[in-house]
Every structure is written in C-alpha cells, then in structure tokens.
Amino acid sequence: MSNLMIGWIGVASLFGLLAFRMSIGVALMLVSFVGITVMLNSTAAFGIVSAMPFNLIGDWSLTAIPMFLFMGFLAANTGLTAGAFDLLRLVLARVPGGLASASVGACGLFAAASGSSIATTAAMSRIAVPEMLRAKYHPSLATGVVAASGTLGSLIPPSILMVLYGIFTEQSIGQLFVAGVIPGALSALIYMGMITVRAGLNPSLAPPVETRVDRAELLRLIWSVWPFPVLVLGVLGGIFGGVFTPTEAGAIGASLALLVALLRGALTVGAMKAAIRQTTLATSSIFFLSIGAVMFTRFMGLSGVPRALTDAMLAVSDNQIVIILMIAALFVILGMVIDSIGLILLTLPILLPVLEAADVNLIWFGIICIKLLEIGLVTPPVGLNLYVLHSALSGEVKLRDIISGTTWFIAMDLLTLLILIAFPAISLFLPSLMAQ
Amino acid sequence: MQALFRKLCGLLMLIGGLGVLALMVNVTADVVSKFVWNAPIQGTIEVSSYYYMVALVMLPMAFVELEDEQISVDLLFNHFPGPLQRVSLVLTCLATTGILWTMAWRTGLDALRAWNIGEVVMGSREIIVWPGRMMLPLGFTLAGLAALVRLVMVLRGENIVKNAEEAPSA
Amino acid sequence: ADYNANHFFAERHSMVRGPYVEFAKKVSEATDGEVNFTVFSGGSLLPPAASLQGVRDGVAQVTYHAGTYTPAELPVANLIGNAAFYNTDPLVMAFASTEFGLTNEAALEEWRNNGVVFGGGYSTSEYVMMCNTPVKSFEDIQGKRLRMAGGAWTRFAEFVGAVPVSIPSSEMYTGLDTGSLDCAVAAADALDSFSLSDVVTSMNTLAIGNYYAGFEWGYNRAFWQSLSPENREVLFDQMAYYLAQHRVEFDADVEKAVTAAKSNGMQVYKPDQALKDALADFVEADEAVLIENAEKRGVENAEAVLEDYKKLVDRWDVLLAEVDRTDVDALAELARVEIYDQLDPASYGTE
Ligand code: NA
Ligand code: NA
C-alpha cells in the first residue's frame, strides 16, 4: 500500500472513530501512531510520540493560552466585566444583536494585544459569552460570534502566524502586520452586519432589552464599567510601550484582573478557586487535543497527502485567480484536519514557486492565507477555537451549538475572502503608504 | 480502591492548578523586574515552559479523563441505540487506555534517558529539565488507568457520559 | 527508495536551499533514485529540540541539528560549538568543525552513542548586534537587552554588562518593534529572513562568534549502514560541495540584506576599542568555563579535545587563506581533498 493511500485511510478512520465518541485527542493520537507504524515502522511512530508532546507543551509562546484563560475566568467569576456589558446593553438597545456586535468589537480590540487567535478566544469567551447568555441570546449566536471573532487575533497585528508566514516567504513582517489592519476591520464589520440583519429578522436570536433605567442606576452602571477598559488598555499599553511582549501579556492580564478584583473587593476565595480549577481543566483538555493534532499533522506530512492534493489542485490552471481559488479550496479542506501552523509549513514550499510564477503579490496572498488558516481554526474536527470556547464555558453550551453557530460566520469569512481577492487594494493600500 | 484513585486524581489536579498561579506570578515578576530594575529573572521562560506548563497539562489529565471532560463529538453517538452506545464506549475506553499507555511507555523511556544523562536546556542559564519530563509518563499512565476505571463503570451499567445530551436544540 | 530529510529552517534559507533541496535532487540523480530524499523544512517533521532524537529513531534519515538544544547529549559537540570566539571566520569554522566531527575520536564516539552518523558541519555568518537604538561603544551596551542564543553568548552579554534575554527567534521582530528588546544578536541575514530590517535602525559589526554547533547532515545509523559504499561516496561528494556552497550563499545573503538595510537608513557602526578589548578578555576568561562545563558532563580530557579542535582551526585558517573565498568549486575541491577523500566509504560510520 502506498503512503498516500495510508494517509487517506487515516483521514477516513479519524472521522469514523470520532463518530463513536472517541475523544478527539485520543483519535488523533491513535490514527497517527498506527498510520506511521504501517507507513514506516514502530520505531518512527515511537519517535513521533517522543518528539511531540514535551516540545508542544514546552513551547513558550503557548503559555499565553492558559494565562488569557485565567484572566477571562477571573474577570467573569468576580463580575469585573459585567458592568461594561450592562452598559453596552443599554447603549446598544436599539441595535438588533447589539451585544454580539459589541463582542466582535471587543475581540478586535483584544486582538491588538494578542498574537494568537486561540489566546484571544480564550480571553474573550469567558468575558463575553456568559453576558450574552444572560441577555437571553441564543447559545449558538453567543458562542459562534466569539469563536469567529477570536480569529481576528491572527489577522490584526501582532500575529504569530504572520511572523511565520513572513519568515517562510521572506516577506516583510512589518508590511504584513500593516496589511492585516483593514482586512481585520472589514471582517469585523461584515460579522456585525450579518449579526444585525439576522437578529433584526429573527428577534428570538437576540431578544430586545428593557431600556428604562433611572438616573441612579445609570450612574452606578457607568461607574462599574472601568475594569474592562483598564484590563484591555493595560495589556495593550504595556505591549506598545515595550514593557512586555504579547506572550507575556497573558500573565500580566491575569495579574491585572486579580488586582482589579482585589481593589473592588470582589476577590473571594471561592471565585479564585473556581477560576484556577476551570483554567486547569480547560488547559489540560485543550493541550491533550493539541498533542493529537500535532502528531496527526506529522502523519499527514509523512503520508504526502497535502503535497499530492496541492499538486493536483495547482495543475488545473496557471491563471492567478484560479490558482488562488484552488488554494482557498485546498486550505478549507486540509484545514479541517491539519492545525494552522502545520498547514503553512507543509504547503508553502509547494505553493511559493507557483505563486511566484503567476506573479502573485505575496503580501496580498499572506492576508488571504491567514484568513484561510483562521477558517481552519473553527472547522471540526481539528478546530481549536471551537474547543477553547467549549472548555472555557465548562460545557454550558453544547459543542454542536458552537459548531452550528460558527457556520454563519464561516459564510461571512468566505464573503470577506472573495472581497479581499477581488480588491487587492484593501490589503495593499496601507503597506504601500508605509513603503513611501 | 476507586475512591482512592479518585482522590489521587483530584490531588494531582490541585497541583496542576498551582502551575497556573506559579506561571502568572513568575512571568509577572520577571516583567516587573525587567521594567523596574532592568534585571530579568533568568530562567523564567524555561521554568515556565518545562515545569509549570507541563504540570498544568499533564497532572490533571487523569482527572479530566475520569470526569469525561476530554473533548469529543457526540453528534452521531446520540442517535445510536443503547447497546451500540455501550459497545462504542467499551471500545473507546480500551483504545484510550491502549494509546495512552503507549505514550506513557515511550515518554517514560525518554524520562529515564533524560535522567541518566542529566538533561538540561540552554537558555540564559542552563536549566535542568529531566524532572519535568517525569510528569509525562505519570500523566499518561494515570489517564490510561482512568479510562480503565470508566470501562469498569460501563460494564457495570453506570452512565459515564457526563454531558449526556437531550434532544438536539433548534 | 524514498527517505525523509529534516531541517527546521525555512526552505529558502541558505542552509536549506542548497544543502537540502538541491542536495536531495543531486543525490537522487547520482544514485539513480536509490536514495531519494523528501525534504521537510521549517520543522514540519521534527521540532528543533527533537531533531537529534528524531533521526536516531528513524523519523528522518538525515537531519540538521542545532547542538545547543542538547547540551547533555552532546557535550563534546557543545564544547566545540561554544568555542565560537576563538576564530570568528565562518568559513574556517565550518570546515574545521566538519573535519573535527568526521575524525576526532571523542566526537565519533559521541555521535555513535546518540545513534547518528555525522556527515558534515556548517557555520552561520558572524553574529552581530542588530538594534533599535545606536549601540556603538562599550558604554552604549551597558544594560541593553540582547536576544542571545544561550551558552557562551549569554555569558558574553553578562561579561560586558548587557542583559541577556532568551526569547524564541519568532519573537525577535515584535520585541525589537515594541522595544522590549534592544538588540538581536544573530547573523545579519536575519535582517531579511526575519525581516528585522523593518525594526532595526543600527548594527554593530563586532563579530560575536558564529554558530556552528551540531551538524548540517546527521544520518540515522541503520540507514547509513544500509547504503552501498558507492552511494555513501555520492553523499560525501555532495556534502563537500554544499559545505562550500552554503558558506558562499550565506555570506551573499548577509551582504544583500545589509546593503538593502543600509539603503533604507540603517546605520552601521564599528565597535570601539573598549568593546573589542572586552570581547578579547571574555574569550580568554571563558575558556576555563567551557572546559569546566564539558568535564562536568563527563568529557574526559576536555582540554585536550579543545586543543585538537584549535589545531584544526589553525590548519584551516592557513589552508583557506590562499583560496578565493567566493569560488564554490575551489572550496569544495579543498573539502574533498583535505577531508572527505581521507574517509573510507566502506567503513566510515559502520563500526
Ligand atoms: Na493580534
Ligand atoms: Na479545522
């Protein structure tokens, strides 16, 4: 049997095992281990077991994930951010789905402080989702919006994925960062537009809110808003002031949340214990799944599936637009089962010569590429953003609702993608200013 | 016996939780120290990555497995008839123990090897890392054992699906 | 047959482009497809810290390995790799460390113990300081946060009064951009390959060693032993060529990156005398630390091993003085005659 064949059988087995309710992490580990054993030998399979878990867990830049989760749990358990959302609810009372749109905005703001989509989702899920649920928003909308908006973390600078893309394509990371700003804002606006229209047509998704409050109540609300901006601006300011890096920002955010809760007298032993427990459970289960995901990416790489699929799809035409559309299809398919970093590492070496031959602007393609990788983050079975959200909510919302909630946002992502492909200037305008 | 095992898992979960605090305190102290005295706490990155994170991920693993908190999709499973559900759970638990003990075996050999050579990493300081590696076989072994405990529960007819879902929502 | 080759640098880097991508093609042609490497770059097969282990286990049949990731496994290689200030000519260090790895008894035993067959070394270009603030002198460097590669580099930073920071290379850009870092210490091709030129405003040309720890090609033992002597000879021949080629290409990339950055306004400073003196003092003081570290990790006669290496360095310093340093063929020929032709393809790596 050829390696390629084994690879495809592996993909099919993965879906089969998941149907039997095997945990995703175990299914990924099992298929990778057996697949590599059949393809090479058990020594090599053991070699992957030996190489992946310790190096993945020991990756410094991933420490931001538990720290942002902790920040979110602390903020939520001590009611730090409820005030901000209560006020937003009042201000946006007339806007259908106003809280969901506000969450998009909050994610976008947070994205500027975090280099990774998963960290952005980790921070925002616990802060925003319970507030929307409290306002009787439909769980799938409340979760879908954060799962999707969390992906702004990689599109809006700073961005670990852009740094990697810049290194592998030898493009300017600065230009990529700048190029991501407008597409990031555009994505957010399109999300908001969709939310407004959907919630307007179907008020049961996001029920209208009671807006009458007396003066005293309003003043109390305004006074209670401060912790949220303090948290976000503290983290943002620290990064842009050169005090700490986006990776360190997670720990600072958590410390800041702790400090604010302490100042407000909201920090109880119970809240603290619950936050630690929730962070621990979520981190352990997410990393367990991630270990499986990186093993599976190695299995895929060794099998040659991504290479073969890429070759086949690129052979169709040498027209620029056709190539990009084929790559989009390729990334959406492979993005289901391969993690985002693995996906660029495995495909870019094959894609680059083709893109260069077709004279594709690599900054423009970089933005398209990041947007595509982000879609992979919210498509099961390897869609880490979904699981971060699910874990952060301690199972309050069913995974199925989260998945169905994100489909609307994926549709919007595809729309944004078409706009970005049709109008390269959206991505290239700011970098062109920078070059002068 | 089972009660004892549960206690052990709960205890390790607690220690893992200390990793959260340690990570936050150490990184924050490093940032503050850099900002105020321009003197980083050397080794912060290495200790955070190879100790706090490893503890945080590996030690609670058995607890997570036992409590059915590992992430799974029950889209199709919910529509299975009762007997088929039980058969899948039995096979799933067995497979889980199998692969986790495979991982435990190899990471255990790695830990032994690391201990023998006194493994270190070279950051700003040399940091000993082999004790961190020991947590991998420990976590995988206990998580595999937790899956076996769940197997016994299924065979006894107990419900081990924690978030057993009601009819699909709209 | 199909085999896997692993390198954790990007495919376009001068250490992958020639020595892995082109190398794989040439080897496949010269062996009539009997040895056909699929190149996995960027760490898509093995993470940096696991390259050594991965090639031993046969996940890859050949790999690059940065030695400082495994100080305990490779004490001899790290003793040599950290002697990076003795002679900072990358060409000399690439050739000398290659000959050392292929012939020194202590080194050979170490490769054997780790399940690899050493094929050839490498060297980056000189490490220099690329900063977002002018660093010209010994005074300027005081308290500056320098991103360092660990080991001797970290000790150097502390020796001159700077603050060593050990962040991953992927965080250099953001660090320099926001100012949480003052300088990155790396080969200057990073101006392009890590796009540091966007955020670097000044460079100091003080040669802070160069990095050549570990190996450019390390083979899985079982794989190596399964090869016919003819095919091993093909590998020797190609490694000799790409040992020379990667040095020339690496320097060319550095040249290109520095020229481009200069035209975009980057200032280039020469170190002042005090800084140069500090480096010289450090090199002298650090030798004892190197030997002590190696002995602590079980290297017998560390001092003698280091002396052997220095002899090779001096030998290559002389040999390379008479060659055109941009002539790949001439350099490759020298590597063949002086190093690889001395090995017996029938027995090397089989004992
Ligand atoms: Na970001
Ligand atoms: Na996915």
The secondary structure of C260-274 as a DSSP string is HHHHTT-EEEPPPHH
Confidence tier at C129 by pLDDT (50, 70, 90) = very high
Task: State the Cα–Cα distance between residues B7 and B63, nearest whole angstrom.
Answer: 9
Domain extent listing, chain B: 2-155
Beta bridge partners of C120: C217
Touching subunits of A (3+ CB pairs, under 8 Å) are: B, C
Task: State the Cα–Cα distance between residues A164 and A151, nearest whole angstrom.
Answer: 16
In the three-class reduction of DSSP (H, G, I as helix; E, B as strand; rest coil), residue C147 is classed as: strand
pLDDT at C76 over 90: yes
Burial of residue B83 (CB within 10 Å: 0-12, 13-18, 19+) is exposed
Q: Which ligand is nearest to the CA of A107?
A: 1
Given CB atoms, is C37 within the 8 Å cutoff of chain A?
A: no
Reported ipTM: the value is: 0.92
Given CB atoms, is C168 within the 8 Å cutoff of chain A?
A: yes
Cβ B48–A62 below 8 Å, yes or no?
Answer: no
* Residues of chain A contacting residue C175, judged by C-beta atoms under 8 Å apart: 245
Mean predicted confidence (pLDDT) in A366-380: 94
* Residues of chain B contacting residue A26, judged by C-beta atoms under 8 Å apart: 70, 92, 95-96, 99-100
Q: Which ligand is nearest to the CA of A378?
A: 2
Minimal Cα–Cα distance from C21 to chain A, Å?
11
The DSSP secondary-structure symbol of B120 reads E
Give strand ranges (E) for C104-193: 116-120, 127-131, 145-147, 163-165, 183-187
* Residues of chain B contacting residue A248, judged by C-beta atoms under 8 Å apart: 27, 30-31
Sign of CA dihedral C225, C229, C235, C237: positive
Minimal Cα–Cα distance from A28 to chain B, Å?
10
pLDDT at B166 over 70: no
- Which residue of B48, B107, B122, B133 to mutate against C (max C Cβ within 10 Å)? B122
User: ∠ CA A363-A364-A365 to the nearest 5 degrees?
Assistant: 90
Which residue would you say has higher pLDDT here, A119 or A414? Answer: A414
Average pLDDT, rounded, for chain B: 89
Give strand ranges (E) for C180-302: 183-187, 202-204, 214-220, 267-269
pLDDT at A156 over 50: yes
Q: Would you tell me how many other CB atoms lie within 10 Å of the CB of residue C263?
A: 8
CA A373 remoteness from chain centre: 9
Among all chains, which residue has been given the structure tokens 């303090």?
A230
**Whole-number pLDDT of residue B117:** 87
Tens of pLDDT, residues C237-266: 999 999 999 999 999 999 999 999 999 999
Output the CA A336–ligand 2 centroid distance in Å.
3
Cβ A171–C195 below 8 Å, yes or no?
Answer: yes
User: ∠ CA A88-A277-A81 to the nearest 5 degrees?
Assistant: 10
Minimal Cα–Cα distance from A419 to chain B, Å?
32
**Whole-number pLDDT of residue A123:** 87
Minimal Cα–Cα distance from A427 to chain B, Å?
35
Touching subunits of B (3+ CB pairs, under 8 Å) are: A, C
Beta bridge partners of C267: C202
Confidence tier at A213 by pLDDT (50, 70, 90) = confident
Cβ A242–C199 below 8 Å, yes or no?
Answer: no
Cβ C297–B124 below 8 Å, yes or no?
Answer: no
pLDDT at A436 over 70: no
Confidence tier at B42 by pLDDT (50, 70, 90) = confident
Confidence tier at A92 by pLDDT (50, 70, 90) = confident
Assigned token pair, A83: 């005030």
Confidence tier at B140 by pLDDT (50, 70, 90) = very high
**Whole-number pLDDT of residue B170:** 28
Output the CA A322–ligand 2 centroid distance in Å.
23
DSSP of C14-83: HHHIIIIIIHHHHHHHHTTTSSEEEEE-TTSSS-GGGHHHHHHTTS-SEEEEEGGG-TTT-HHHHHHHT-
Cβ C44–A342 below 8 Å, yes or no?
Answer: yes
Confidence tier at B163 by pLDDT (50, 70, 90) = low
* Residues of chain A contacting residue C50, judged by C-beta atoms under 8 Å apart: 50-52, 55
**Whole-number pLDDT of residue B164:** 52
Of C58, C170, C199, the CB nearest to A164: C170
pLDDT at A374 over 60: yes
Overall number of domains in chain A:
1
Output the CA B71–ligand 2 centroid distance in Å.
14
**Whole-number pLDDT of residue B97:** 97
Phi, psi (deg, nearest 5) at residue B128: -70, 130
CA C67 remoteness from chain centre: 9
Give strand ranges (E) for C134-213: 145-147, 163-165, 183-187, 202-204
Cβ B27–A283 below 8 Å, yes or no?
Answer: no
Average pLDDT, rounded, for chain A: 91
Minimal Cα–Cα distance from C344 to chain A, Å?
29
pLDDT at A181 over 60: yes
pLDDT at A160 over 60: yes
Of C41, C57, C198, the CB nearest to A173: C198
Minimal Cα–Cα distance from C308 to chain A, Å?
34
**Whole-number pLDDT of residue B125:** 74
How many residues can be counted in chain C?
A: 351
Tens of pLDDT, residues A192-203: 999 999 999 999
Mean predicted confidence (pLDDT) in C273-301: 92
Among all chains, which residue has been given the structure tokens 């980056």?
C124
Confidence tier at A83 by pLDDT (50, 70, 90) = confident
Output the CA A123–ligand 2 centroid distance in Å.
20
Cβ C58–A302 below 8 Å, yes or no?
Answer: no
For every residue of chain A, which 3-state class applies, written as one string? CCHHHHHHHHHHHHHHHHHCCCCHHHHHHHHHHHHHHHHCCHHHHHHHHHHHHHHHHCCHHHHHHHHHHHHHHHHHHCCCCHHHHHHHHHHCCCCCCHHHHHHHHHHHHHHCCCCCHHHHHHHHHHHHHHHHHHCCCCHHHHHHHHHHHCCHHHHCCCCHHHHHHHHHHCCCHHHHHHHHHHHHHHHHHHHHHHHHHHHHHCCCCCCCCCCCCCHHHHHHHHHHCCHHHHHHHHHHHHHHCCCCCHHHHHHHHHHHHHHHHHHCCCCCHHHHHHHHHHHHHHHHHHHHHHHHHHHHHHHHHHHCHHHHHHHHHHCCCCCHHHHHHHHHHHHHHHHHHCCHHHHHHHHHHHHHHHHHHCCCCHHHHHHHHHHHHHHHHCCCCCCHHHHHHHHHCCCCCCHHHHHHHHHHHHHHHHHHHHHHHHCCHHHHHHHHHHHC
Mean predicted confidence (pLDDT) in A318-328: 91
- Say what percent of chain A tops pLDDT 70: 99
Mean predicted confidence (pLDDT) in A264-287: 92
Cβ C45–A301 below 8 Å, yes or no?
Answer: yes
pLDDT at C52 over 90: yes
Cβ A301–C40 below 8 Å, yes or no?
Answer: yes
Touching subunits of C (3+ CB pairs, under 8 Å) are: A, B
Cβ B120–C49 below 8 Å, yes or no?
Answer: no
Cβ A277–B13 below 8 Å, yes or no?
Answer: yes
Cβ B99–A248 below 8 Å, yes or no?
Answer: no
**Whole-number pLDDT of residue B169:** 32
**Whole-number pLDDT of residue C89:** 94
Given CB atoms, is B58 within the 8 Å cutoff of chain A?
A: yes
Task: State the Cα–Cα distance between residues A82 and A88, nearest whole angstrom.
Answer: 10
Cβ B162–A395 below 8 Å, yes or no?
Answer: yes
Tens of pLDDT, residues A46-74: 999 998 999 999 999 899 999 999 998 89
Question: What pTM value is reported for the model?
Answer: 0.92
Q: Would you tell me how many other CB atoms lie within 10 Å of the CB of residue C327?
A: 13
Name the amino acid, one letter, at A223. W
Output the CA A383–ligand 2 centroid distance in Å.
4
Of C44, C57, C174, the CB nearest to A246: C174
Domain extent, residue A57, equals 3-433
Of C73, C167, C297, the CB nearest to B45: C167
- Which residue of C52, C158, C163, C178 to mutate against B (max B Cβ within 10 Å)? C163
Task: State the Cα–Cα distance between residues B91 and B25, nearest whole angstrom.
Answer: 43
**Whole-number pLDDT of residue A91:** 81
Q: Would you tell me how many other CB atoms lie within 10 Å of the CB of residue A15?
A: 16
In the three-class reduction of DSSP (H, G, I as helix; E, B as strand; rest coil), residue C216 is classed as: strand
- Residue in chain C closest to B122 (alpha carbons) equals C150
- Residue in chain A closest to B31 (alpha carbons) equals A244
Average pLDDT, rounded, for chain C: 94
In the three-class reduction of DSSP (H, G, I as helix; E, B as strand; rest coil), residue B129 is classed as: coil
Name the amino acid, one letter, at A33. F
Burial of residue B114 (CB within 10 Å: 0-12, 13-18, 19+) is buried
